[in-house]
Amino acid sequence: MKQIPNPKSSSHPFDAWLLAARPKTLVASIMPVALGAAYAYATRGSMAWNLLFYVFASALCIQIGTNFANDYSDFKKGADAGKRLGPTRVTQAGLLSPEQVLRGTWTMFVLAVMFAMPLMMKGGWPIVIIGALSILFGWMYTGGPYPLGYHGLGEVFVFLFFGLAAVMGTSYLLVGWWTWQSAVLAVCPGLFATAILTINNVRDIESDRKAGKHTLPAIFDRSFGRAEYICCIIGAMLIPVVLFMLNGKPYVLFPLLMIPVSFKPIKLMLTKTDGPSLNKALAETAKLQLIFGAFFIVGLLI
C-alpha cells in the first residue's frame, strides 16, 4: 500500500500551489488563445475584449486544473516514485496532500466553467462541447479508468486541445463563424505543445516504464521520441509558409526569423539523455514557442 507523505510545513503555502500550477507550462494555453484572437482581429478589424478575457481566464483555469490532476493521479499511480528527473511534483514531495491537490483540481475546473458561462451564452453548443471535453479529458489525461497519457494518447490530447480547440474555439467566438485558416493556424501551437510533451516523455522513459505508463517513447524507444520531436518542430515552422501560400500575405512569414532559435533545443534533444539537459531543452522549446507565436501574432496583425 502506497505510503502518503505528510505535507511539509511551510510559511508560504502559496509557493506550493504555484509550483503545482507549473507556470512555465502555461504558455501552452496562452499562446493558442492569443493566436486565435490575433487572427480574429485581423479578420474583423475589432476585438470583443470582454470575451477575450473570459477565454484566457477559462483556458488558464483548465490547464492549471489539468496540471493539478496530473500531479495527483501520477502520485496515486506511482509514476512519480523515486528520484524525479523533471520538476518537483508537490504531492510526491509532500508539499501538499493528495486530498488538497484533488480539491484544488476541481476548484480550478469549477472556476473554468464559471468564466466560460458568457462564452457558452455567446457561442452556443459548440463552445459548451469544447469546454466540457477540455475538462473531461484534462482529468482523463492521467486520471480515470483509462488515462490517456498512460496509453500512448497524450500527444493526441495535447494536439487537439492546445491546438485545434483553443485556436479555432477562440476564433469562432470572436469572429462568429468557423474558418479554414484558423484550422491551419491551430496546427502550429498544437505541434509545439506536442513537442514539449515529447521532451517530458523522452526524459521520463525509464520511470514511466516502471510505473506502467505507456507513452509513445516508452512503447518504442528514445530514437522514436527524438524523431517525433523533430517532426513537430519542423511541422510547426511550416505553418507560416502554408498560410502564405494560401492567403499571399508576406507578413505571416515573420516567425521564420526564429528558426535559428530552434537549433539549441534540437541539439539538446539529439545529443543528450540526462534529466537536466532535457529539462533545459524543454525550457528552450517553451521559449521558442513563445517567441515564434509572438512573431506570428505580429505578422497576423500587420
- List the CATH number of the domain containing 191: 1.10.600
Domain membership of residue 92 as a residue range: 13-301
**143 is a domain residue:** yes
Task: Mark 136-172 as b/e (b = at least 16 C-beta within 10 Å).
Answer: ebbbbbbbeeebbbbebbbbebbbbbbbbbbbbbbbb
Domain count, the chain: 1
Instruction: Note the pLDDT tens digit of each residue in 31-60.
Output: 999 999 999 999 998 899 999 999 999 999
Q: Is residue 4 part of a domain?
A: no
Alpha helices in the chain, H assignment, sequence order: 13-21, 27-44, 49-77, 90-93, 98-123, 125-140, 154-159, 165-175, 180-203, 205-211, 216-219, 222-247, 263-271, 275-301
Does the residue 224 lie in any domain? yes
pLDDT surpasses 70 at 4: no
Asked whether the predicted pLDDT for residue 124 surpasses 90, the reply is: yes
Residue 5 is predicted with a pLDDT of: 47
Question: Is 63 contained in some domain?
Answer: yes
In a domain, 52, yes or no: yes
Q: Which residue did the predictor score with more confidence, 76 or 154?
A: 154
Give the global pTM.
0.90
In-domain check, residue 260: yes
Lowest-pLDDT choice from 74-83, 107-116, 262-271: 74-83
Task: Say yes or no to pLDDT of 2 above 70.
Answer: no
C-alpha of 85 from chain center: 19
Report pLDDT digits (tens) over 154-213. Answer: 999 999 999 999 999 999 999 999 999 999 999 999 999 999 999 999 999 998 898 888
Report the share of the chain in percent with pLDDT over 70. 93
Instruction: With a cut of 50, say whether residue 288 has pLDDT above it.
Output: yes
Residue 86 has pLDDT above 70, yes or no: no
Q: Is residue 5 part of a domain?
A: no
**pLDDT at site 247:** 85
Q: Tell me if 6 is assigned to some domain.
A: no
What average pLDDT is seen over the chain?
A: 91
Please give the DSSP secondary-structure letter assigned to residue 2. P
Of 130, 75, 128, nearest to 98 by C-alpha is 75
